[in-house]
């Protein structure tokens, strides 16, 4: 066992408590305690967190708080803030919080304050936004830019893509921002179909500037542009975001048009860096600044708020409870907001790439479950697709419902219905419907003209309930609250990594597939013999031969 937490009194007490409370049903807990909402919800940073529909009692919370202290999360927060190389397998500090740090205090890395560099790049982003929005930046034919295409993948795509959609109500009206990630040429080709080379600017976003998907898409985009406007046009139509300025120059992008970031920014935490450039272009630099401020406010809250009213800590501890003590294997993220339509995809990378690991900080098997499978879709769409399984599929699926009190697009009649669905779903998941209730309902509905079915329908209509959920209620979806929301999940992810005693900041698990793809490519291209392959891989390659 490499997680010392497993040997603590807090962990054992939680195990015993889980056994003792396993049979409790949420509907009984609510019936027994009319004050349950008041004691198991709180408001902080303008957000309401209601976790009264989780399978917890105040005693559970007390034990989880003991666990938090035993894991010394506060100590790890200090190590992170001090710029220690807590990403020990890559010997890197984790300082993405510096990117949204406000005020004059230093953030130290290797004996040096990183803030002057952070501010320099922010100034560069601002002046570039001004140039594009003010129509001073002109393409090779002298026309202003109307369309920006971000070419990147993973953390160099998901964050700005998700936030651009989330903040559609705040977008700049004169430029459209598109995102291309997939190696499948259909992604780039269908994007380019809508565009004119004369008025299109590409942002090639890659921390390493070596990622196969991004380099292939960037090369194809370059060929498209050069085919229409000539080689000299590249300078006015391509900019880059990277830590690898040498590779940027080798690609033919003027490094004066490169936006730098640093190896202490992990890919999935890079939205706050120059990787946010397409977002800043989409919503304007002032709104981008508001997003950073929202995230900084959540960082402060995480550091300073007491445990019982700490948003990231509460979410993290509920995840540990559901995963390690109740045995949940998945976690659904269900925003009742079209704007947050890409949030679950974003959180998949944030949480699963960070904490989807079985080996502890000491390289030994952990011996307990870690990150659940994160998935979800916005409500109400999901209700008409997969909610059937959450209600009656018999699996434990903790859900995060996320909603805003006020709509970001205020069409009359929509928002009240949206909220009623959101709250109804968490109520139904909590209460369930018993056989007796179903039978009573059926009896009440039976009429002379609608005869009873020839078989008993009641068992099909029973809902077991007791499905745990948390509801997070924001005021609105705007740049500040979105910054808070993303940082909330980031900090939760960090805290979970500490509680699970793993390194949340490396991602060795994505390397093997890349390595094998590199070996298969020359075989598929017919440049190398198909030797040493298993019969399935050899068979699939043979089936693709012309």
Considering the candidates 136, 384, 406, 417, report the single residue annotated as catalytic.
Answer: 384
Question: Any contact of residue 426 with ligand F6P (CB under 6 A)?
Answer: no
| Residue 242 vs 467, nearer CB to ligand F6P | 242
If binding means CB under 6 A, how many residues of this protein chain bind ligand F6P? 14
Question: Any contact of residue 314 with ligand F6P (CB under 6 A)?
Answer: no
Rounded least distance, CB 494 to ligand F6P, Å: 16
Q: Among 268, 331, 368, 415, which residue interacts with ligand F6P (rule: CB under 6 A)?
A: 268
| Residue 493 vs 507, nearer CB to ligand F6P | 507
Rounded least distance, CB 205 to ligand F6P, Å: 7
Long-range contacts formed by 515-520: CB under 8 A, 24+ apart: 517/212
Considering the candidates 260, 351, 353, 377, report the single residue annotated as catalytic.
Answer: 353
| Residue 55 vs 268, nearer CB to ligand F6P | 268
Using CB under 6 A, which of the segments 206-214, 301-309, 333-341, 462-470 binds ligand F6P?
206-214
Q: Which of residues 140-169 bind ligand F6P (CB under 6 A)?
A: 153-156
301 belongs to the catalytic site: no
> Is residue 461 within 8 Å of residue 56, measured between CB atoms?
no
Q: Is 373 exposed, middle or buried (0-12, 13-18, 19+ CB in 10 A)?
A: middle
| Residue 503 vs 507, nearer CB to ligand F6P | 507
Question: Any contact of residue 312 with ligand F6P (CB under 6 A)?
Answer: no
Which residue do the tokens 């209700």 mark?
Answer: 383
Written in H, E and C, the secondary structure of 276-306 is HHHHHHHHCHHHHHHHHHHHHHHHHHHHHCC
Rounded least distance, CB 206 to ligand F6P, Å: 3
Considering the candidates 246, 406, 414, 514, report the single residue annotated as catalytic.
Answer: 514
Residue 378: which residues within 8 A CB-CB, separation 6 or more? 334, 335, 336, 337, 338, 340, 341
| Residue 148 vs 477, nearer CB to ligand F6P | 148
Rounded least distance, CB 304 to ligand F6P, Å: 30
> Is residue 321 within 8 Å of residue 64, measured between CB atoms?
yes
207 belongs to the catalytic site: no
| Residue 275 vs 305, nearer CB to ligand F6P | 275
Question: Any contact of residue 278 with ligand F6P (CB under 6 A)?
Answer: no
Residue 44 phi, psi dihedral angles, 5° rounding: -150, 145
Distance between CA atoms of residues 38 and 233, nearest Å: 62
514 belongs to the catalytic site: yes
Question: Any contact of residue 65 with ligand F6P (CB under 6 A)?
Answer: no
Rounded least distance, CB 221 to ligand F6P, Å: 15
Residue nearest to ligand F6P (CB): 267
Q: What is the DSSP string of 14-60?
A: HHHHHHHHTT--HHHHHHH-TTHHHHTEEEETTEEEE-TTSS--HHH
- Give the CA distances from residue 480 to residues 2, 130, 170, in Å, rounded to whole numbers and listed in that order: 39, 21, 12
Question: Any contact of residue 240 with ligand F6P (CB under 6 A)?
Answer: no
Q: What is the DSSP string of 219-248?
A: HHHHHHHHHHH-GGGHHHHEEEEES-HHHH
Rounded least distance, CB 507 to ligand F6P, Å: 5
Q: Which of residues 325-354 bind ligand F6P (CB under 6 A)?
A: 353
Question: Any contact of residue 96 with ligand F6P (CB under 6 A)?
Answer: no
List the alpha helices (DSSP H) in 270-377: 277-283, 285-304, 311-320, 343-347, 354-355
- Give the CA distances from residue 397 to residues 29, 384, 386, 494, in Å, rounded to whole numbers and listed in that order: 19, 17, 12, 22
| Residue 91 vs 447, nearer CB to ligand F6P | 91
Using CB under 6 A, which of the segments 201-209, 304-312, 435-443, 538-546 binds ligand F6P?
201-209
Residues written for the chain: 546
Six token digits for residue 477 = 């979806």
Q: Which of residues 482-511 bind ligand F6P (CB under 6 A)?
A: 507, 510
> Is residue 304 within 8 Å of residue 133, measured between CB atoms?
no
Rounded least distance, CB 502 to ligand F6P, Å: 16
Rounded least distance, CB 521 to ligand F6P, Å: 18
Summarize as ranges the residues that interact with ligand F6P (CB under 6 A).
153-156, 206-208, 211, 214, 267-268, 353, 507, 510
Active site residues: 353, 384, 514
């Amino acid at each position: 066992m490499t997680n010392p937490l497993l040997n603590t009194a807090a962990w054992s007490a939680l195990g015993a408590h889980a056994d003792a409370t396993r049979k409790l049903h949420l509907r009984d807990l609510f019936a027994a305690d009319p004050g349950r909402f008041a004691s198991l919800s709180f408001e902080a940073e303008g957000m309401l967190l209601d976790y009264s529909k989780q399978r917890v009692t105040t005693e559970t919370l007390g034990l989880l708080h003991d666990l938090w202290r035993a894991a010394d999360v506060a100590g790890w927060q200090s190590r992170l803030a001090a710029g220690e190389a807590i990403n020990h397998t890559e010997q890197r500090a984790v300082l993405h919080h510096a990117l949204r740090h406000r005020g004059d205090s230093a953030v130290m890395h290797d004996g040096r304050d990183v803030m002057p560099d952070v501010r320099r790049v922010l100034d560069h982003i601002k002046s570039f936004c001004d140039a594009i929005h003010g129509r001073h930046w002109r393409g090779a034919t002298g026309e202003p830019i109307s369309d920006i295409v971000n070419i990147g993948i993973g953390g160099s795509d998901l964050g700005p893509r998700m936030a651009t959609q989330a903040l559609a109500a705040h977008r700049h009206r004169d430029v459209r921002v598109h995102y291309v990630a997939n190696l499948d040429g259909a992604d780039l080709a269908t994007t380019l179909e809508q565009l004119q080379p004369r008025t299109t600017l590409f942002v090639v976003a890659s921390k390493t500037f070596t990622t196969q998907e991004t380099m292939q898409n960037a090369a194809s985009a370059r060929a498209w542009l050069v085919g229409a406007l000539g080689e000299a046009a590249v300078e006015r139509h391509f900019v880059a975001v990277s830590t690898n300025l040498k590779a940027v120059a080798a690609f033919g992008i003027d490094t004066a048009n490169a936006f730098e970031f640093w190896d202490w920014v992990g890919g999935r935490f890079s939205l706050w860096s120059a990787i946010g450039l397409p977002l800043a272009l989409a919503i304007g630099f002032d709104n981008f600044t508001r997003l950073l401020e929202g995230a900084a406010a959540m960082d402060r809250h995480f550091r300073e708020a007491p445990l019982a009213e700490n948003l990231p800590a509460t979410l993290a501890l509920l995840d540990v409870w559901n995963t390690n003590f109740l045995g949940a294997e998945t976690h659904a993220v269900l925003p009742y907001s079209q704007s947050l339509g890409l949030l679950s995809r974003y959180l998949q990378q944030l949480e699963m790439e960070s904490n989807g690991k079985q080996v502890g900080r000491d390289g030994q098997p952990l011996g307990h479950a870690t990150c659940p499978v994160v998935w979800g879709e916005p409500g109400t769409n999901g209700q008409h697709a997969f909610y059937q399984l959450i209600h009656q599929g018999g699996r434990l699926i903790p859900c995060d419902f996320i909603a805003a009190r006020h709509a970001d697009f205020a069409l009359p009649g929509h928002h009240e219905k949206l909220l009623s669905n959101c709250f109804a779903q968490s109520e139904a998941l909590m209460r369930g419907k018993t056989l007796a209730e179903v039978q009573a309902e059926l009896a009440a509905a039976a009429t002379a003209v609608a005869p009873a079915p020839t078989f008993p329908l009641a068992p099909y209509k029973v809902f077991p309930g007791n499905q745990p959920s948390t509801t997070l209620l924001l005021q609105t979806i705007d740049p500040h609250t979105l910054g808070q929301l993303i940082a909330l999940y980031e900090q939760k992810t960090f805290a979970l990594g500490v509680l699970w005693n793993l390194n949340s900041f490396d991602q060795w698990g994505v390397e093997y597939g890349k390595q094998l793809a590199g070996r298969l490519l020359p075989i598929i291209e017919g440049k190398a013999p198909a030797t040493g392959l298993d019969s399935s891989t050899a068979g699939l390659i043979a089936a693709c031969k012309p």
